[in-house]
Copies of this chain bind each other. A is one copy, B any other.
């Protein structure tokens, strides 16, 4: 056994772990920060889908840089922590005994696979989207000479992976339980348009269905097809299970850390567990929804990074409070050349949570006048509470600007702002960059809601 000691031990080198370590070091330059991660090379998780298509084309282009952590003097160890003595504050990693003062779990998440399909993972050609370079490389290599791909799951990972494989000429079918793709983040009418764009590049969607069996016709251990609840059979040389992720809490559970919602580690607003020397951040921590306050399965690297920043600032004294209580599920994606972005609750989710709402939409263009050469259609939907007009959700379809515009919607939601605040908000507008000043879409959708509220 080799003995190592550190002040802060971070388990996990993804976004949450990385940001925790960097923030901890910034705030405590004299302390020794050690990050233990399982993989030698860490991928940028959000860009994994782009490895498979033309956007990046290989996993080498998706490698996360550790330069900043190294420059700052943060130590790194590659290995798996098998056990921790929480009383003695010693972690065991291969033949290392690591003593620590503060501990941060940033163990991330692992692909969730329905129990009925788990055994099929043993078949050749069946994959998940694990956040692991060797695994991703294996899938990428296996796909080289294959044509027929079935993707199970119509969330953004499934859709992004589908589009990338399609860009390489594969025949891709996405299978999901909801009527349209991306339906956790978008209401039907918007999700439908994303689906139509996906179909334009040849990716088919089979909705309101479910894979009941992954088939190996010849009994040779190689997948051939999937069978659906509807009894449909879809041929497949590759089956990718993109059915979500679950918090990776194997180690936390083993050492007695309490769990919260959906099996994530329970944390307070400073990302502390019940033991205030032990923190948890990112996908392995339990989250709830900002609006409904219900447990949330939403896992996003941006939220994880914000959590890492809080944890890193709360180790030896509390520097500032987490500005949010619950995830606003703020995210964006691209379907071909159209951006889709969402924050807060959808109309469906609001109704399911028994919130009386009023909805406002606006269709325009992202340039002004619309004759500016690269103008793209832009559509905004805002969801406001009937009583008070507070904005609790927003969905955007548009050009590349939607990626930052949704962050404006996010801050509006986080700030509990109402439509009236938005209606007199000062925004910058420029012909080559935004919609017209007279019809800025967030303002216009708020105006629509204000008119509806008047007539109630």
A contacts, CB < 8 Å to B: 15, 18-19, 23, 26-27, 44, 46-47, 50, 55-56, 61-64, 290, 300-306, 308-310, 313, 319-324, 327-328, 330-334, 339, 341, 343, 368-369, 371-373, 399-408, 410-412, 414-415, 420-421, 423-434, 436-438, 440, 443, 447, 450-451, 454
- Also in contact, A301 and B429, with CB within 8 A (given A26-B447, A309-B424, A443-B309): yes
Complex alpha-carbon distance, A308 and B376, angstroms: 26
Q: Is the CB of A369 within 8 A of B322?
A: no
- Also in contact, A432 and B55, with CB within 8 A (given A400-B400, A410-B426): yes
Contacts beyond the supplied A305-B440, A404-B404: 5 A-B pairs with Cβ under 8 Å: A23-B447, A305-B443, A321-B424, A333-B430, A403-B432
Q: Is the CB of A62 within 8 A of B437?
A: no
Q: How many copies does the complex hold?
A: 2
Complex alpha-carbon distance, A425 and B333, angstroms: 19
Q: How far, in Å, is A307 (CB) from chain B's closest CB?
A: 8
Q: Is the CB of A305 within 8 A of B425?
A: no
Q: Is the CB of A302 within 8 A of B428?
A: yes
Q: Is the CB of A369 within 8 A of B332?
A: no
Q: Is the CB of B301 within 8 A of A437?
A: yes
Complex alpha-carbon distance, A303 and B304, angstroms: 36
On chain B, the residues within 8 Å of A432 by CB distance are 50, 55, 334, 400, 403
On chain B, the residues within 8 Å of A399 by CB distance are 400
Q: How far, in Å, is A356 (CB) from chain B's closest CB?
A: 20
- Which of B300, B320, B328, B339 is the one whose CB lies under 8 Å from A424? B320
Q: Is the CB of B328 within 8 A of A426?
A: yes
Closest to A269 in B: B424
On chain B, the residues within 8 Å of A408 by CB distance are 404, 407-408, 411
Q: Is the CB of A371 within 8 A of B62?
A: yes
- Which of B302, B369, B423 is the one whose CB lies under 8 Å from A429? B302
